[in-house]
Chains A and B, each alone.
Chain A
């Protein structure tokens, strides 16, 4: 061995290895396990995702948002299995229940005292008449009426005196009787609507519909946008400029108008298709409803442009890098370079954009459903529930507030999580 080591040339700046390493036979003895321990890497090498996860975990807001999203998933996907009511099931005798109730005895007491003023008036008139012994003059009648009105029973006070309290959750009288008989009845936590449908189940299904639409629309956007953007960016030159012209064109179209237009135009065609036979496609159309399909068509037609722009920008930068040249030199086809080398390098951007697309899709869906051109009748969604509630908002305000809050919190947490994800995956973008 030692003969092979070159002697340093005179004046060389290289250290004289011969002198540095005065090797003895001991140095060549196999290392003990203890010594080996010291050689193991102190810190495990982190992958891109591990690193991102570590950064994400430090972001408290994003983690809370993630937790909320999990709760939503449980609420929307597991919840309906636990509640024994169907979202389109009419519970007879349980129409228009509030999310609270009185026990049977309390209700009986309340009913007896809150009997209408007319009955009390009639009783008072009769008493006055017998006292006077003759028919009452109109002035006297008016006086009695006024006293009856002014001494109107204060229900609130009465309840306090008699210890009548509201109980949480809605039960119909029939259900309360069944409970008394020893049966177990699941409460209507948020009450029921005018057809006797359990509002909580409808909320769960509505949340599920909104989430699924958001996710599917985002995936659709991802598919189209990433394909289009990467081809445009990779091809460059004239192809790129023509493709970007198209993007520009779509970008300047008022999307909401086109969506509304599409839903109008596609509805009859889809209905005709749905009634044309009993194949799996027809069933799918029937299940989703024409409005929903036009919503997806609109997303597929219009909303991919942002994604395409972002991907194109990334690809334009990446394609000049050495690893692409290397892949080309090795004879990789353009498709392979895009799929295996370019797209995986913009995965951060892709994930973030897709994630932020979900709330946007939910936003649009609820908007359309609210206007009555979104999710159609047997199905429900948070937007259409809010729209239904708007009609009876003076009496049943909570029916509007609950879906509104659920929707807003969902969008809020998706937005916050998306922002957190962006910071974690691409810290350069952090504002």
Chain B
């Protein structure tokens, strides 16, 4: 276990390093210098600026410097959107909003998804199973922005009778402000989780130990919750990693649609405004977050199911 964890940690760090370097190199390859804005400065000014920011050195040295600063927690300052404000500060301000929406979305998606999946598996072939299957298939075919904007127009649109929620996100409204974004963000993972837990539950229910449990005369709820569910949950855990990644990247759309002042929306705006330090900082931060989450999910997976071996030859 310790060896495996170390290995995974090494892999995670390597991925992080690759993402950070890729980000830096890509941003560095953009033609044109950041100093060429409305006023065209003299060559001397450009040289001085280049020297000040270390941009006269070879790229690899710059990369090393950038990574070093990154480890120290320095991501540079915003060039355009909030001029000269450190990127780290911006992330600190924006991320909690995104994180809370993402967290609640993942939470409800997993809870409801597993419940519906079990319900469908238990009622296999009955109308409830078919109904859930139809809903889930439709759910995973709707892009998040479709779900989000339909929810927005329906429940925060011009129709007074249905207007339960604010059109523009307002954190002071408390839970009311979070409902629609979380709902929109969680629908896709919920449907996916439901499908997955249905099939793994069916798998588990077909196992011999379930027969044994039935033969012992256990009641159905006990069989389902105590015996089958535990094993059925394992594949669901594997999906948690991608689900978290989805929640934070899908957050871009949801935050844009509901005007949530979160990191995702800010990231998109920084791309549209070409504020490179913000783009780099946010990319690396979000990538690190997702990679670390994946790392923990992997460990959790391993801890929950000791049967799983991670030998090289495995598929």
Residues of A bordering B, CB below 8 Å: 241, 248-249, 252-254, 256-258, 260-265, 268-269, 272, 309, 313, 359, 363, 366-367, 370-373, 383, 386-387, 390, 393-395, 397, 400-401, 404, 407-409, 411-412, 415-416, 431
Contact = CB atoms under 8 A, between A and B. Distances in A.
A119 to B, nearest CB: 26
Interface in B255-293: 256-257, 267-268, 271-272, 274, 279, 283, 286-287, 290-291
A416 B137 contact: yes
Report the 5 A-B pairs with minimum CB-CB distance, sorted nearest first: A412-B141, A265-B26, A256-B249, A404-B146, A394-B158
A367 B188 CA distance: 14
B253 interface: yes
20 contacts: A248-B11, A249-B11, A254-B249, A257-B19, A257-B249, A260-B283, A262-B26, A265-B26, A265-B29, A269-B30, A359-B141, A367-B145, A370-B253, A370-B256, A371-B268, A390-B149, A393-B149, A407-B143, A408-B141, A411-B141
Contacts of A407: 143, 146
A359 B229 CA distance: 32
A257 B286 contact: yes
Nearest to B199: A431
A268 B290 CA distance: 28
A253 B287 CA distance: 7
B38 interface: no
B272 A372 contact: yes
B135 interface: no
A393 B151 CA distance: 12
Contacts of B29: 265, 269
A254 B11 contact: no
B112 interface: no
Contacts of B286: 254, 257
Given A268-B31, A272-B31, A404-B150, A383 B294 contact: no
Given A253-B15, A370-B145, A393 B30 contact: no
Contacts of B315: 309, 313
B179 interface: no
Interface residues of B, number: 50
Interface string B144-155: 111001101100
Contacts of A416: 137
A252 B144 CA distance: 22
Given A265-B27, A367-B143, A254 B149 contact: no
A415 B140 CA distance: 9
Contacts of B312: 241
Contacts of B141: 359, 408-409, 411-412, 415
B294 A264 contact: no
A61 to B, nearest CB: 9
B145 A366 contact: yes
B4 to A, nearest CB: 14
B12 interface: yes
A249 B14 CA distance: 8
Given A252-B15, A412-B141, 19 more contacts: A249-B18, A252-B11, A253-B15, A260-B252, A265-B30, A268-B30, A269-B29, A309-B315, A371-B252, A371-B256, A373-B268, A386-B145, A393-B152, A393-B153, A400-B149, A401-B153, A409-B141, A412-B138, A415-B140
A397 B153 contact: yes
Interface string B1-44: 00000000001101100110011001101111000000000000
Nearest to B144: A367
Contacts of A256: 245, 249, 252
B142 interface: yes
A401 B153 CA distance: 9
A397 B11 CA distance: 47
B32 A268 contact: yes
A408 B31 contact: no
A357 B283 CA distance: 25
Given A393-B152, A394-B157, A415 B31 contact: no
Nearest to A260: B271
Contacts of A253: 15, 18-19, 287, 291
B291 A252 contact: yes
A410 to B, nearest CB: 9
Nearest to B312: A241
A261 B267 CA distance: 10
Nearest to A373: B271
B146 A258 contact: no
Contacts of A411: 141-143
Contact of B145 (A248, A383, A431): A383
A415 B137 contact: yes
